[in-house]
Amino acid sequence: MEKLTEERLKKHITFRTHQSHLIDYFQSSVFVPLVEIDGEYHLVFEKRAETIRQGGEICFPGGKIDPTDESPQLAAIRETCEELGCRPEGIEILGNLDTLIMPTGMLVHAYVGLLQTPLEELTISADEVEKVFTVPVAFFLENKPKEYQCQVLVHPYIVDPKTGEKEILLPVEELGLPQHYQEPWGAGQHQLLFYQTEELIWGLTAKIVANFVHEIKQ
């Protein structure tokens, strides 16, 4: 093995941005669509079909980044076309918002742009989307979201809800860790935001909206 020298350290340890740890997260990408209605910009939302995960909740079009996606941005466009039935050329990306890292182990890239396909010409995927609706951007500029907190704990085990059997994820005794790590620990706080429109917009979607509003108000 090559000897570790000061020259070698300076060559490999730099001030670049490191993101290699992000591969441990479930990565997804969403599109935040804007449409102009009667001279006023609106955000376009989806209500998820009841038959899919988190059915009935409000979201932006998007989903998991596939290995075949060349970039998170292209993943957002692909998912939007699949869900709304529009074409890629009907989407103009204006820029990106903050990448969100959720305590559930999900990393979310968000892109804002213009949906240039008229809403009445969309062919939404009934398998994924119950309906599409819009809310004026002005509503979010004028109304702050309600804010609540959830407690997030690190669980060293999981319990099967059907059998009640405990599956050890972290072998505390085997590793010789202090005994108190055998039970959940951490007690971190996670912020949850809520906007009440014709539908309740909350959680990840509300956080993306708040980030968008923050950028607009800069």
Write the DSSP string, 113-181. EEE-S-GGG----TTTEEEEEEEEHHHHHH-PPEEEEEEEEE-SEEE-TTT--EEESS-HHHHT--GGG
Is 181 among the domain residues?
no
The answer to whether residue 71 sits within a structural domain is yes
Number of domains in the chain: 1
- The tens digit of pLDDT for each residue in 162-175 reads 999 999 999 999 99
Residue 92 lies in a domain: yes
Task: Reply yes or no on whether the pLDDT at 36 is more than 90.
Answer: yes
* Beta carbons within 8 Å of 152's beta carbon, 6+ residues apart: 103, 186, 187, 188, 189, 190
The CATH number given to whatever domain includes residue 135 is 3.90.79.10
Task: Give pLDDT tens digits for 80-100.
Answer: 999 999 999 999 999 999 999
Assigned domain for 179 exists = no
Q: Is residue 44 part of a domain?
A: yes
Q: Is residue 55 part of a domain?
A: yes
> Which pTM value belongs to this model?
0.85
Instruction: State which residues form the domain around 50.
Output: 23-142+198-217
Evaluate if residue 70 carries a pLDDT over 70: yes
* More confident: 29 or 4: 29
Has residue 18 been placed in a domain? no
17 in any annotated domain: no
pLDDT in tens, 193-209: 999 999 999 999 999 99
